[in-house]
């Protein structure tokens, strides 16, 4: 039910974006083929003493083009990491999950669910800001990534974890394009969903110059 409500909100947000936003990336053209996850680099996990995360790595070129368009239209120079990914399990979330399950177990689950080939859809380019800091990102939708998070939640509770420790539905998949000073996250009060969109995106065949 919550998932259906979330999708409804996305549709309403995108409609509002299309009708009321003064911004438009009419010259932005990208190929759907460019955006396909690379099976050989599909899953990335990093474990340190205090930080761990799970992400879907993506080809960078198309998102680099988006960043250039944002910089030009927003008149900003953005810091970036020179790569593209969608975080599936964040470091903050894993600090609770690791009480019962390991990143190795999460990786194995993601591989079984073929995360490396997860289909995803670009919704818009969003902006989040806190005081003088701003971050820009491509908002995406991917049902499989939601399903992986739900499977992680099931595994965690089966191992004795409390259901309320991890909410698989509280998830706003996106690809960070760049930021002015630092990347901003949910913990900073920035929700990276379609309600924050400032530009619409279209595949190349739909773009008119």
Give residue-wise pLDDT tens across range 92-151. 999 999 999 999 999 999 999 999 999 999 999 999 999 999 999 999 999 999 999 999
**Assigned token pair, 42:** 């599909």
pLDDT at 64: 94
- Mean local confidence (pLDDT), 5-34: 49
Rounded-to-integer distance, Cα 17 and Cα 198, Å: 7
pLDDT at 28: 53
Pairing mode, strands 197-200 and 84-89: unpaired
pLDDT at 23: 45
pLDDT at 50: 46
- Nearest alpha-carbon partner for 58 in 147, 125, 142, 135: 142
Dihedral sign computed on CA atoms, order 96, 98, 101, 105: positive
Edge to edge, the sheet with strand 121-130 lists 174-179, 133-141, 121-130, 197-200
- Nearest alpha-carbon partner for 69 in 28, 127, 97: 28
Q: How confident is the model at residue 43 (pLDDT cuts 50, 70, 90)?
A: low
More confident position, 24 or 133: 133
Rounded-to-integer distance, Cα 130 and Cα 67, Å: 20
Threshold 0.75, pTM exceeds = yes
Rounded-to-integer distance, Cα 14 and Cα 100, Å: 38
pLDDT at 44: 61
- Mean local confidence (pLDDT), 157-176: 97
- Cβ contacts of 209 within 8 Å, gap of 6 or more: 26, 27
Q: What is residue 79's DSSP assignment?
A: B
Least confident of 25-29, 133-137, 185-189: 25-29
């Amino acid at each position: 039910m919550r998932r259906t409500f979330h999708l409804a909100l996305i549709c309403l947000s995108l409609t509002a974006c299309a009708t009321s936003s003064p911004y438009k990336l009419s010259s932005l053209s990208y190929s759907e083929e460019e955006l396909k996850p690379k099976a050989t680099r599909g899953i990335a996990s990093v474990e340190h003493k205090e930080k761990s995360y799970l992400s879907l790595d993506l080809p960078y070129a198309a998102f680099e083009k988006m960043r250039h368009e944002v910089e030009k239209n927003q008149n900003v120079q953005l810091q970036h990491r020179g790569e593209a990914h969608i975080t599936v399990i964040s470091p903050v979330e894993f600090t609770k999950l690791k009480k019962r399950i390991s990143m190795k177990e999460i990786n194995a689950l993601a591989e079984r669910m073929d995360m490396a080939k997860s289909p995803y859809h670009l919704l818009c380019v969003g902006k989040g800001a806190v005081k003088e800091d701003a971050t820009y990102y491509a908002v995406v939708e991917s049902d499989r990534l939601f399903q992986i998070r739900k499977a992680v939640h099931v595994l965690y509770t089966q191992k004795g974890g409390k259901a309320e420790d991890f909410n698989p539905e509280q998830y706003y998949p996106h690809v960070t394009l760049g930021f002015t000073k630092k990347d901003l996250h949910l913990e900073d009060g920035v929700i990276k969903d379609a309600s924050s969109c400032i530009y619409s995106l279209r595949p190349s065949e739909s773009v008119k110059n």
